[in-house]
Amino acid sequence: MNAIAEFSQEERQVLSDMVRRFIESEVAPHYEQWERDEIMPRGIWNKLGEAGFLCADIPVEYGGAGGNFDMCMLLNEEFIRPGYGSLGGNMGVHSDIVAPYILNHGTEEQKQHYLPKMVSGDCVGAIAMTEPGAGSDLQGVRTTAKKDGDEWVINGSKTFITNGQHAGMVITVARTDPDAPGSRGLSLFLVDTDKPGFSRGRNLEKLGLHAADTSELFYEDVRVPESALLGELNKGFIILMTELPRERLSLAVGAVAAMQGALGMTADYVNERQAFGAPLSKLQNTRFRMADMQTEYRLNRAFINECMELFNTGALDAPTASMAKLATTEAQCRVVDGCLQLFGGYGYMKEYPISRMYADARIQRIYGGTSEIMRELVARAVLDG
């Protein structure tokens, strides 16, 4: 693809068709096995890279397509809408969280070193914030990075890290000023996973997103050079806050895509399934439920379109991104639950994708900031000035 300033409808259709063909040949035939294995094969990342589906908005000078945020979100939607949430979610962390951190805050050397390999899939990216005692509240981070000559020595552990098993590089949040209060004194480091002292724990078993590797990570005297520092020293929390609106908007876009996919599956099912001598779609309860859920989807879609316009002009603030993440992920869980109900007993069977979408949806209200944290952030903006 050539670098583009705008993402035309024709280009959107071309990219959508490319993704659908890729899914038909490289994902759909294998996805159930990946879910059973509870991990995707490492090779899928290189196939995604070869197809041009990773880090689509990275500039061409770093090996990217030179696209824009809309292109990234289209890719997000195309993988999540048909129910491949494990793949779409892991791609999102790699392309829409880790890569922008490096592009926006990295040195030229860091960009040249990591971004081309992330575009190709040769290096899978992860970000390690969460710890056993620190989730949404980063004030509890205990992982430390201490200066020793011209190196930093990192000690600590992380958990619930997406892409943890396949990652070749992990953006690691560590405390560099032990005397700084709260979330101050945190810094970010680019840690290559082949460093001595770095190790991966088990691939965690989850309620949903089974094929998405989610891991514990351990740092025992891991030495990284000064050049591994991402952004300014002790400014890690500020960088995290700067990048969170994109992360939360990406999750919201995925939530809307999942709603759309679930509603499409359900419409097909209730039109085919017979009950009391007629399709389920002729029963008033079915019709009213589908009408309510379609309306909820459309309302959230409209809000997300507004948020994407704000993001593209640099005007998306943290409270609005929090509203988007809160509204869409809560709606996703309601809609997918309602869709599963219309499948009846078959909706509870793993052979129907709606059951997987139901299990996959639940984490959306937790990661990227819980719904409770989102409400508090919005409340501060509304009530505290």
> 318 — phi, psi (to 5°)?
-60, -45
Marked catalytic residue, from 38, 243, 247, 296:
247
* Residue 22 near residue 85, CB atoms below 8 Å: no
Q: Angle of helix 43-51 relative to helix 9-22, nearest 10 degrees?
A: 150
DSSP code per residue over 159-192: EEEETTTT-SEEEEEEES-TTS-TTTTEEEEEEE
Q: How far apart are CA 279 and CA 228, in angstroms?
A: 61
Q: How far apart are CA 255 and CA 374, in angstroms?
A: 15
Of the candidates 24, 49, 211, 48, the one whose C-alpha atom is nearest the C-alpha of residue 115 is 49
* Residue 106 near residue 65, CB atoms below 8 Å: no
Q: Could you confirm whether 151 is annotated as catalytic?
A: no
Q: How far apart are CA 316 and CA 198, in angstroms?
A: 37
- Active-site amino acid positions: 247
